[in-house]
Amino acid sequence: MVEVIIKTVAYSEQIQAINNIRTQVFQVEQGIAQELEFDGLEQNAIHLLAYLDNQPVGTARIRKIDDQTAKIERLSVLSLARRKGIGKKLMVTAIEFATSQNYHIVVVNAQKYIKSLYQELGFEQVGNVFEEAKIPHVKMTKKLDKKNSLTEQDAVVIKNSSSTDESTVINHPLFQAIGIIKGEVKFHDDDKKSISVTIGNKEYGIECNRRHSDARTGLKKVIAKTGESTQRLIVYPKVMHFPKKEQPHRLWFQLIGFEAGNYKHSISADLADNEFKICGLWQFIPVCRQPCISIFLNFKQERLDFLKKSEEPAKNAKFMKASHIPVLWKDSPQRPFKFNPRGEKDQGHPYFVQIKATFLPHRDAFGFVEQLEEPLEQAPKFMKLPKPGKSKKSKPKINQQKKPKNLILKSQK
């Protein structure tokens, strides 16, 4: 499980991280004026920063109203990190802090569409809906007592900003492929949902799922407002292979965020334009001439429980489908694994690799740049669909490489 870390920070020390998050969420995505968002009260508040994979992705501030009352404001989480409970964890931490300072009431002006989040935390609406920055809001309050303290179930780690103890930070290897592409973005009038990006002389499709729909909306607003169609997009690479090796694979990208103006996403510290972090199994697959890094779905118990209960195998298949990323890596320290269907049963297994690669549009592939970590014999736990031909009621498999050489772990019941 990836751990979310919440830190109390001084605004003067973390001004760039805090302003980046709030600018992206409130100004870029929601169109709130800068003078309304940054109201000059920052130095009078306690600020929280939420970290995911050691990168700042969310923030909130707590401000004294009077001796009895504190106000929680500017709750914001980057689109890349939403639907992970980070907003709720920020609120729980803010409530805990207000309780520790002997406030009796906390107040929020909640955007109406996320009113339910605050209700889950015990807030009650006061008065009618009103507009703030042209967005519907409701005033909500919560009475505090010592019972509002954090529990282990909240899974929030609070660390002082001056702490150097890194023992609570989880840095386990994970299957992932994420990067930055820079190109000319086009929204197609014939299809309101259709987006493409031109990199070099090639045009690629951009998909955007419901989870990251706000990134698509924000991107369209920025291009319309600035007239600048060349943008830096944060994306997942998507690849479709076909049964015949002779038929070229198809490549596109899934939008999860973008950079605009002075806003720089935390991933920019590690990746340049058209660079990607790719972590997965280094192997050949039957339908591709080039070796690939295969990105499987990371194992989570809640995912397994959900899929076991699901009665929609087609949706399960789409959700769990691996992405096989073609990579040109001439001098790899471990040769890509190639399974021989006519060979012995135990032929070894693919190594788990973690690399930085650059996107090569003329090849629709990725070229090795550097290793981020040494190859691992044992991959992280991942999930995989049963082999074709089994019953429709077949349940998803959990896979974990045994030490040292066996890839498949039998289904856990």
Residue 389's pLDDT band (cuts 50, 70, 90): low
CB 21 within 8 A of CB 80: no
Phi, psi of 236 (to 5 degrees): -100, 135
* Separation between Cα atoms, residue 358 and residue 177, nearest integer Å: 12
Higher-confidence residue: 289 or 212? 289
Q: Which pLDDT value is given to residue 159?
A: 34
Handedness of CA 80, 83, 87, 89 (dihedral sign): negative
* Separation between Cα atoms, residue 55 and residue 281, nearest integer Å: 25
Region 374-389: mean pLDDT is: 78
CA distances from 36 to 39, 41, 103, 218, 383 (A): 6, 11, 26, 18, 46
Q: Mind listing the pLDDT tens digit for each residue in 182-236? A: 999 999 876 556 899 999 899 999 998 776 677 788 888 888 888 999 999 989 9
What tokens does 30 get?
């929601």
Among residues 245, 252, 319, 224, the alpha carbon closest in space to that of 288 is found at 245
Among residues 54, 1, 88, the alpha carbon closest in space to that of 303 is found at 1
Q: Mind listing the pLDDT tens digit for each residue in 3-43? A: 789 999 888 888 888 988 998 888 888 777 777 778 788 88
Helices in 144-257 by DSSP H: which ranges? 213-226
Span between the terminal Cα atoms of the chain, in Å: 20
Q: Which domains, and CATH codes, for the chain?
A: 4-160 (3.40.630.30), 176-399 (no CATH)
Tell if the pTM clears 0.75, that is, is over it.
no
**Beta partners for residue 393, in sequence order:** none
Q: How many helices and strands (H and E) does the chain possess?
A: 7, 21
The per-residue pLDDT of the chain, averaged, comes to: 80
Higher-confidence residue: 140 or 154? 140
Residue 302's pLDDT band (cuts 50, 70, 90): low
Q: Is the pLDDT of residue 268 over 80?
A: no
**DSSP class of 402:** B
Cis peptide before 404 (omega within 30 of 0): yes
Amino acid letter at 395?
A: K
**Cα atoms found within 13 Å of the Cα of residue 359, Cβ hemisphere only:** 29
Residue 95's pLDDT band (cuts 50, 70, 90): very high
